Amino acid sequence: MSAKKLYIETYGCQMNVADSELIVSLMAADGYVLCEDVKEADVILVNTCSIRENAEQRVRGRLKLFGSMKRKKNGLLVGVVGCMAQRLKEELILQEKSVDVVVGPDQYRLLPELIRHAESGNPVVQAILSGDETYDDIEPVRYDSNGISAFISIMRGCQNMCSYCIVPYVRGGERSRNPETIYSEISALKENGYKEITLIGQNVDSYNYNGFRFHELIAGTARRFPEMWIRFSTNHPKDLSDELLKTMAAFPNICRSIHLPVQSGSTTVLKRMKRGYTREWYLGRIEAIRRLLPGCSVSTDVMTGFCGETEEEHQETLSLLETVSYDFAFMFKYSQRPGTWAARHLQDDVPEEVKIRRLNEIIELQGKISGRVKKLDIGQIYDVLVEGVSKKNANEFFGRNQQNKVVVFPDSELRKGEFVKVKITGSTPATLKGTLL
Ligand code: 5AD
Ligand code: SF4
């Protein structure tokens, strides 16, 4: 009998991308081979996100399609894994007739066995959160990688309990991974030609393995792998320490780029969000980045229309965007998530049309700021890690600099995986353009 074929689709954040790599590894150990065409699949897995209502709607759309495929292909199984599986558990089986297997983020080791159970015709649900699962003994299969950059999960879960956020409920409490297993994973990547790694967690600043903290982990990583670029995400403003910034400054291979989600520029909104900092504290952290790490890019997440947000509070977000002058921002409108503190205690009272209008104002302003900030790069010389051929022009190549900005430049050949020096000569809203030195 030929090997069973697995098709996997991933929604949501980098954590989910890393989790899908674990899942593929676990399934491969059970004899599955990955296929790129969903029509060939014996098992379809959808790794899901619950962060906003529309993230779940997209998955439901896909499940309808997979349901119609099931009616035509006997024995095809559909599994939902990840955050939406954890949030909805049995409900998902009742709501979505196409679903055979529902598995939460801490139960992936059981997936092959659960799928075998489901083959007998009965749907299965496994969604118990664990206090200590970090999957640190599993070598992820980098099936969708460029062969140069990889994400490495250094911790799981989150316990910040921001009032709007579903993550602590679907990913459980925070746990940090043994640093030795992180180093050995990077070592294997290096052997395979990788040049850049991104250490990921919901709040990397609170990484703590028996007292071994995040700044020690990145120093250890930078020292052991001096020829690799090291990135990380996501930092939390309340925990971003000078110690971490000083560690970054001490190592040239730790990339000059920080993603520091602000959510709102208003202290009163931040309080309702239970973010644990004020506008002034946040601006103080930005000032520390500028002081200790000149040339470091800063990006953020902003959420508009949170419960009770007034026009004045919205204006404070706009003014904060101006003050910080971010290189880049992800921008969202608030979406109430069932079971969160905000859903239980606050009114989702900003009308939809007001949320949309405010979001558009934020997007428009940040667009101008991003364009302005990019122009400041003209004339600068950057090291760029080459990734591939530009989509727009086959004679041009692209990579990213330490500031995580895409740089496009002409070259005689593709030097994928090499570090090159590029002088910036121009910019578009999305990229920097330059010439090789
Ligand atoms: N509604 C809208 N956006 C949200 N985010 C988190 N929870 C919600 C929600 N309920 C945003 C935050 C976070 C990013 C990953 O998603 O900005 O930083
Ligand atoms: Fe990632 Fe959060 Fe979405 Fe889960 S809910 S996939 S942790 S963004």
Q: What is the pLDDT of residues 301-333, one digit of tens each?
A: 999 999 999 999 999 999 999 999 999 999 999
Q: pLDDT tier at 233 (50, 70, 90 boundaries)?
A: very high
Give the amino acid at 409. Answer: F
- Between vectors from CA 265 to CA 156 and to CA 269, what angle results, nearest 5°? 75
Q: pLDDT for 10-29, tens place per residue?
A: 999 999 999 999 999 999 99
Q: Which atom of ligand 1 is nearest to the CA of 165?
A: 7
* 103 contacts 78 by C-beta, under 8 angstroms: no
Closest ligand 1 atom to residue 303 Cα is: 17
- Which ligand gives the minimal distance to the CA of 261? 1
CA 76, chain centre distance (Å): 30
Nearest bound ligand to the CA of residue 301: 1
Distance in Å, CA 51 to ligand 1 centroid: 6
Q: Which residue has the tokens 């353009």?
A: 433
Determine the distance separating the centroid of ligand 1 and the alpha carbon of 141, expressed in angstroms.
Answer: 28
Residue entry with tokens 């051929």: 389
Is the pLDDT score of 429 beyond 90? Answer: no
Tell how far the Cα of 194 is from the centroid of ligand 2, in angstroms. 26
Closest ligand to Cα 336: 1
Q: Considering every ligand atom, which ligand is closest to the CA of 340?
A: 1
Ligand 1, atom 18, residue with closest C-alpha = 301
Q: How long a stretch of residues is the chain?
A: 437
Q: For 132-141, what is the mean pLDDT? A: 96
Per the listing, tokens 């101008």 go with 368
How many angstroms is it from 382 CA to the middle of ligand 2? 33
pLDDT of residue 414: 87
- The yes-or-no verdict on residue 394 having pLDDT over 90 is no
Summarised one tens digit per residue, pLDDT across range 277-309 is 999 999 999 999 999 999 999 999 999 999 999
User: Mean pLDDT over all residues of the chain?
Assistant: 97
Taking the centre of ligand 2 as the mean of its atom positions, its distance from the CA of residue 162, in whole angstroms, is 14
Pocket test for ligand 1, best of 164, 166, 330 (most atoms within 8 A of CB): 164
CA dist., res. 79 & res. 67, Å (int): 11
- 211 sits in the region (left: phi over 0; alpha: psi -120 to 50; else beta) called left
Residue in the block written with tokens 């399609």: 65
Q: Which residue matches tokens 């395979």?
A: 192
Provide the percentage of residues in the chain whose pLDDT is more than 70: 100
Instruction: Give 239-265 pLDDT, tens digit per residue.
Output: 999 999 999 999 999 999 999 999 999
pLDDT of residue 1 exceeding 70: no
Nearest-CA residue for ligand 1 atom 5 is 51
Relative to the CA of 164, which ligand 1 atom is closest? 10
Mutate which of 11, 16, 50, 51 for ligand 1 pocket (most atoms within 8 A of beta carbon): 51
Region 93-103 average pLDDT: 96
Looking at residue 114, its pLDDT comes to: 97
pLDDT in tens, 50-77: 999 999 999 999 999 999 999 999 999 9
Q: What is the pLDDT of residues 335-381, one digit of tens each?
A: 999 999 999 999 999 999 999 999 999 999 999 999 999 999 999 99
